[in-house]
Structure 1
Amino acid sequence: MSNLRLPSGQQVRVVIFSSLLLLTACGEKPPSGVPGEMKVPVSVVTVQPTPTEVVVELPGRVEAIKDAQIRARVNGIVTEINFDQGSDVKAGQLLFTIDPAPYRAVRAQAAAQLQRAEADAKSARLLAERYSKLIKANAVSRQEYDNAMAAAGQAEAAIAAAEATLQAADIDLGYTKVDSPIDGRIGKSLVTEGALVSATAATQLATVQQINRVYVDLTRSTAEVSQLRQALASGKLEQSPDGNAKAEVVLEDGSSYDQPGKVLFSGITVDPTTGQVVLRAEFPNPDQILLPGMYVRVRLQQGVDEKALLVPQQALQRTADGLSSLMLVRDGKVQVVAVEVGPESKGNWIITEGLNAGDVVIVEGFQKIRPGAAVQGMPWKPKGSQDGNASAPAEPGAPGVEKGADPSGDKAPVAEPGSKG
């Protein structure tokens, strides 16, 4: 064991050499792969002005183009229901039959009164003609002649009254056959055979609705209408090329209705209770997908913004107080900016304030970054495009990224194995 012990001088030299090695190691810089020095990769888009159709999405209710309530116009007992519930009917088609017997009797009585009035009138006319000859020979008095002429006139009036009574009886008898006033689809019968219906109470029997085309009634606040007018007047928005306001229905399940529509009018009166203006759009409905009373959302085309700044919806950050912000890459670091958000356009938000052309917006990778953090921008690729990898570098000319541009201006260092971040 004594042969392994070093001389005292050599022990001192070993200690000094070891200390120098430790001091040298402490003075070296940490490797570039240390997590604190890494640039976190994030997916970004470079914002450029893009001509964009500006649309607004509003809630609405579907209304039938025609809506006829079938009601009783005479009193009586329903004897027949002459249609299949839920079927399509034609104008003039028989729907209900009300017991006609009492009205046939009334008509017969009116017809008899007319015959009596005609017979009386014939007698009065003959007497008047006879007296007109006798008066010339002074065979009758002037008073008798006048009475005969008046009686003839009264008889003619009685005929007219009897004809009117007969016509009214015919109308009431016709009302016992209840026909459809329009083409359309009829709903359920609201009465059954044997039910007593009343003209006084206007008993409702059924409803016929024409739904091959439908209306959708919308409401919009006066503030929104004013903003639209100001944008059009200032030139920020331009009218659509065809000059017509287009409309598109979004169904309750979120799918889009395949039949485009058009806005018919904008109300000129403001509802004092809600401060809103009524809009009405019309849509073709050949397959009767849109049903009266259905709740839908309607996208209305308002114009074209020639210099719209678009960002993907997932890039927008919402704060607890309801404000909106975006994370930008400036000088290789994260910067948060507050923005004003306009309408939505095909999966993107139109940013009206706080964003400039050429800004680099972070779309993905928020979990690993914070304001001021160093990041490495990589062109964002929407899901479903090519390999679906959103963080993989996009090919030149990819949407939202200038061709040949590196949004961050740097290259990300390669992390050492086992490093975090």
Structure 2
Amino acid sequence: MKYLSLAIIVFLYGCAPKQEQAGTPPPQALPVISINAASVTTSLDYPASIEGKVNVEIRPQVDGYLDKIFVDEGAFVTAGKPLFKINEQPYREQLNSANAALHSAEASVINAQLEIDKLTPLVQNKVVSDIQLKTAKAAYSVAAANVEQAKAQVAAARINLGYTLIKAPVSGYIGRLPKKQGSLVSRTDPQALTNLSDVHEVLAYFSFGENDFISFKQQYPGNTLEEKLKSLPDVLLVLADNTVYQEKGRIDIIDGQFDKNTGAITVRAKFPNTKGLLRSGNTGKIRLSLKHNNALLVPQSATVEMQDKVFVYAVGKDNKVSKQPVTVGGKNGTDYLVTGGVKPGDRIVFSGLDHLHEGEEIHPEKLSNDNLNK
């Protein structure tokens, strides 16, 4: 009887409904976005060095002691303003000596002409031989040549005297003044008296690599490089403190050849500088805008980087994810500009990528544009 009761209990337990065993957890719900094509404008920054439109080294053209300095460092001067005065006394004496030599030469011409005038009637009357008149005329030619030479020496002495006053060849800002009053200056000095920069307009020089140059030629319309330059949009200048210079510039020149050492080609952009905020020697970055038609934008938050490659998690029709490499062609704000690896209409996981695995099934949640833009 005892065994019969135990058998009944076992039978009833076997017939009773079994409790559900712990199964596979449900797919995790993750936000998913669709990739769409759009026209966007991206920007690329290139390191640049800034120079004034005209940068002039002011050097002495005669030797001597520096008598006066009329300007101070950093001052703005107009073209023709005196900058330096070299002791002129030796050069004034040279001019006086040259003038004296000219007067002597002119007197010799007069004497030679008098000799010709004296001999001419005598030769005509056959009182003296013709050879004496020819000799007198030759002496006159020599005296006349000496006058021309003396005039050239006077002009050279006057020029050298003028060089003792050094004037500004252009309007601009004065640089450092390494020489002080009383210093001996020379044409052979390795260091200039100062530098003068005309910065009412500045030139920013930067470089394109070969790939950038090829992309540049393909990006903008025009059959020639000159036509492409005319179609370029304005460029921005980002200063060293990352602020954007208030005036826009234009790219006007691209160098004729690549540098063999760097593999880059020099490009020049021109900026107005009416307020004089920029000076020669400033550095910054040229920001060049590029327009992309039918571009694919992928939020950077929807990507992962591994070994210098960028990946997204593509969502298939069965809601399973696969890690897909993409080609990044640039940035637009917080988005990557993707040129390969995905196509319009593809779905990718927007966030929560850290715990995803290849082939994992998810429960996609469509992300609204409002949440996407946050």
TM more than 0.5: yes
Task: Compute the displacement of 1:110 (Å).
Answer: 0.9
Note if 1:161 corresponds to 2:154. Answer: no
Instruction: Return the alpha-carbon distance in structure 2 between the equivalents of residues 146 and 382 of structure 1.
Output: 110
- C-alpha change, 1:123 and 1:39, in structure 2 (3 Å) is same
- C-alpha change, 1:105 and 1:27, in structure 2 (3 Å) is same
Task: Compute the displacement of 1:173 (Å).
Answer: 1.0
In structure 2, runs of 5+ residues without a counterpart are 1-5, 222-226
Task: Compute the displacement of 1:368 (Å).
Answer: 5.8
- Which secondary structure does the structure 1 equivalent of 2:19 belong to? helix
Q: Are the equivalent residues in 1 in contact too, given 2:220–2:228 (CA < 8 A)?
A: no
1:53-80 CA-to-partner distances (Å, cap 9, x unmatched) read 4543322221221110011111111111
- C-alpha change, 1:227 and 1:69, in structure 2 (3 Å) is same
- C-alpha change, 1:83 and 1:231, in structure 2 (3 Å) is closer
Instruction: Return the alpha-carbon distance in structure 1 between the equivalents of residues 371 and 109 of structure 2.
Output: 94
Note if 1:378 corresponds to 2:367. Answer: yes
Partner of 1:90: 78
Q: Decide which of 253, 260, 265 is 1:272's aligned counterpart.
A: 260
Instruction: Return the alpha-carbon distance in structure 2 between the equivalents of residues 251 and 45 of structure 1.
Output: 37
Task: Compute the displacement of 1:240 (Å).
Answer: 8.4
Report which stretch shifted further, 155-164 or 53-62.
53-62
Q: Are the equivalent residues in 2 in contact too, given 1:72–1:202 (CA < 8 A)?
A: no
Instruction: Return the alpha-carbon distance in structure 2 between the equivalents of residues 255 and 362 of structure 1.
Output: 35
- C-alpha change, 1:144 and 1:347, in structure 2 (3 Å) is farther
* 1:32-71 equivalence runs, <5 A: 36-37=25-26, 39-42=28-31, 45-53=33-41, 55-71=43-59
Instruction: Return the alpha-carbon distance in structure 2 between the equivalents of residues 276 and 54 of structure 1.
Output: 22
Which amino acid is the alignment partner of residue 145 of structure 2?
Answer: A
* 1:212-223 equivalence runs, <5 A: 212-223=200-211
Task: Compute the displacement of 1:308 (Å).
Answer: 1.1
* 1:72-83 equivalence runs, <5 A: 72-83=60-71
Q: Decide which of 12, 16, 19 is 1:26's aligned counterpart.
A: 19
Which amino acid is the alignment partner of residue 72 of structure 2?
Answer: D
Instruction: Return the alpha-carbon distance in structure 1 between the equivalents of residues 299 and 75 of structure 2.
Output: 47
Note if 1:208 corresponds to 2:196. Answer: yes
Which amino acid is the alignment partner of residue 269 of structure 1?
Answer: Q
Task: Compute the displacement of 1:112 (Å).
Answer: 1.1
- Which secondary structure does the structure 2 equivalent of 1:26 belong to? coil
Partner of 2:172: 184
Partner of 1:322: 308
Task: Compute the displacement of 1:231 (Å).
Answer: 6.3
Instruction: Return the alpha-carbon distance in structure 1 between the equivalents of residues 229 and 149 of structure 2.
Output: 64
Instruction: Return the alpha-carbon distance in structure 1 between the equivalents of residues 349 and 82 of structure 2.
Output: 67
Task: Compute the displacement of 1:227 (Å).
Answer: 4.4
- C-alpha change, 1:193 and 1:382, in structure 2 (3 Å) is farther
Task: Compute the displacement of 1:269 (Å).
Answer: 1.5
Q: Are the equivalent residues in 1 in contact too, given 2:30–2:351 (CA < 8 A)?
A: no
Note if 1:338 corresponds to 2:301. Answer: no
- Which secondary structure does the structure 2 equivalent of 1:213 belong to? strand
Partner of 1:297: 285
Q: RMSD of aligned C-alpha atoms?
A: 3.3
Report which stretch shifted further, 125-134 or 210-219.
125-134
- C-alpha change, 1:119 and 1:223, in structure 2 (3 Å) is same
- C-alpha change, 1:330 and 1:254, in structure 2 (3 Å) is farther
Which amino acid is the alignment partner of residue 313 of structure 2?
Answer: M
Partner of 1:414: none
Which amino acid is the alignment partner of residue 57 of structure 1?
Answer: D
Note if 1:250 corresponds to 2:241. Answer: no
Q: Are the equivalent residues in 2 in contact too, given 1:211–1:291 (CA < 8 A)?
A: yes
1:311-334 CA-to-partner distances (Å, cap 9, x unmatched) read 234444321x21112234444454
TM-score (norm 1): 0.75
Task: Compute the displacement of 1:297 (Å).
Answer: 1.9
Partner of 1:171: 159
Which amino acid is the alignment partner of residue 310 of structure 2?
Answer: S
- C-alpha change, 1:51 and 1:129, in structure 2 (3 Å) is farther
Task: Compute the displacement of 1:260 (Å).
Answer: 1.8
Instruction: Return the alpha-carbon distance in structure 2 between the equivalents of residues 317 and 307 of structure 1.
Output: 24
1:201-247 CA-to-partner distances (Å, cap 9, x unmatched) read 365100011122111222222233234445669xxxxx989723532
In structure 1, runs of 5+ residues without a counterpart are 1-11, 234-238, 391-421
Say how many residue pairs are matched: 360
- C-alpha change, 1:240 and 1:134, in structure 2 (3 Å) is closer
Task: Compute the displacement of 1:26 (Å).
Answer: 2.6
Q: Are the equivalent residues in 2 in contact too, given 1:197–1:203 (CA < 8 A)?
A: no
Which amino acid is the alignment partner of residue 327 of structure 1?
Answer: Y
Instruction: Return the alpha-carbon distance in structure 2 between the equivalents of residues 373 and 57 of structure 1.
Output: 41
- Which secondary structure does the structure 1 equivalent of 2:159 belong to? helix
Task: Compute the displacement of 1:153 (Å).
Answer: 1.4
Instruction: Return the alpha-carbon distance in structure 2 between the equivalents of residues 183 and 382 of structure 1.
Output: 57
Q: Are the equivalent residues in 1 in contact too, given 2:229–2:251 (CA < 8 A)?
A: no
